[in-house]
Amino acid sequence: MEICYMDFNGQYQELQRLYPGIRLDLSDIPGTNCYCDDMAKDEIRKRMEGVGEEVTLHFLDSGNYHYLTLLWLERIREPFHLIMMDHHPDCKEAAFGGITSCGGWVKEALASLPNLKTVYMGGVDPELLQELEPLPENIVVFDIDKPLTELIEAQEGPFYISLDKDVMSEEFARTDWSQGRVTCETVQKRIAEVFSTKNVIGVDICGEKKENPSEEDRRLNEATNQILLQQLRELSET
């Protein structure tokens, strides 16, 4: 499994030393924090052009940049499904003239990507889900603490997995957003179930701490990233 590090804040230096991959330095692009304007989006796409299809694991930096998933999904040329594990549904109505955002990229993806057939959401705050009701048919909420296999096994086509570490408790990750209560082990179980059941064509991980991270924050996130990365490498080789 080849890796792409999308670097806004210098978060991945140690991880990249241990697990070399392609580094996209995006730190010089204005208009990217939480919202991504059209000029910034075009520049990011341009820098992604050199990343081949064999690069299937993408680290996206802070959850402020979770909208980068949308840019990876744009490149998929066949019908597919998305598994998202996140404490937030990221389905807000677009603001500021429809600008892409970390809080609304899922809604934008469903509206703009005809190949995206279903979004499966796990670990989302129930109160935030209530704000979306009634949910559209192409959004399926699953209990992240229960096996996922039966829910997805009948679906045809490949799957893409997007993980925001804010779905985990602060014992396993430190992020810039409100966090859930999920363990890293639970996330690993759900990931393994998707790999064992379906063809996984891509994975991304965000949830680094952008705002004033302490050394403890960095070490904890680094450790969790390494656990997830090692698991994904092993799953992709079986």
Q: How much is the pLDDT for 97?
A: 72
- For the stretch 24-34, pLDDT in tens is 999 999 999 99
Q: How much is the pLDDT for 238?
A: 80
CATH of the domain at 158: 3.40.800.10
CB 6 within 8 A of CB 68: yes
Q: How much is the pLDDT for 95?
A: 72
> Is 80 exceeded by the pLDDT of residue 96?
no
Structural domain for 190, as ranges:
2-237
Phi and psi angles of residue 160, each rounded to the nearest 5 degrees, phi first: -120, 140
User: In the chain, how many domains are there?
Assistant: 1
Which parts of 12-99 are beta strand (E)?
A: 22-25, 35-36, 55-59, 80-85
> Is 90 exceeded by the pLDDT of residue 187?
yes
- For the stretch 9-18, pLDDT in tens is 999 999 999 9
Going by C-alpha positions, the residue among 119, 126, 129, 228 that lies closest to residue 173 is 228
> Is 80 exceeded by the pLDDT of residue 90?
yes
- For the stretch 152-163, pLDDT in tens is 999 999 999 999
> Is 80 exceeded by the pLDDT of residue 5?
yes
**In the chain, alpha helices (H):** 13-18, 38-48, 68-73, 105-112, 126-130, 149-152, 184-197, 215-237
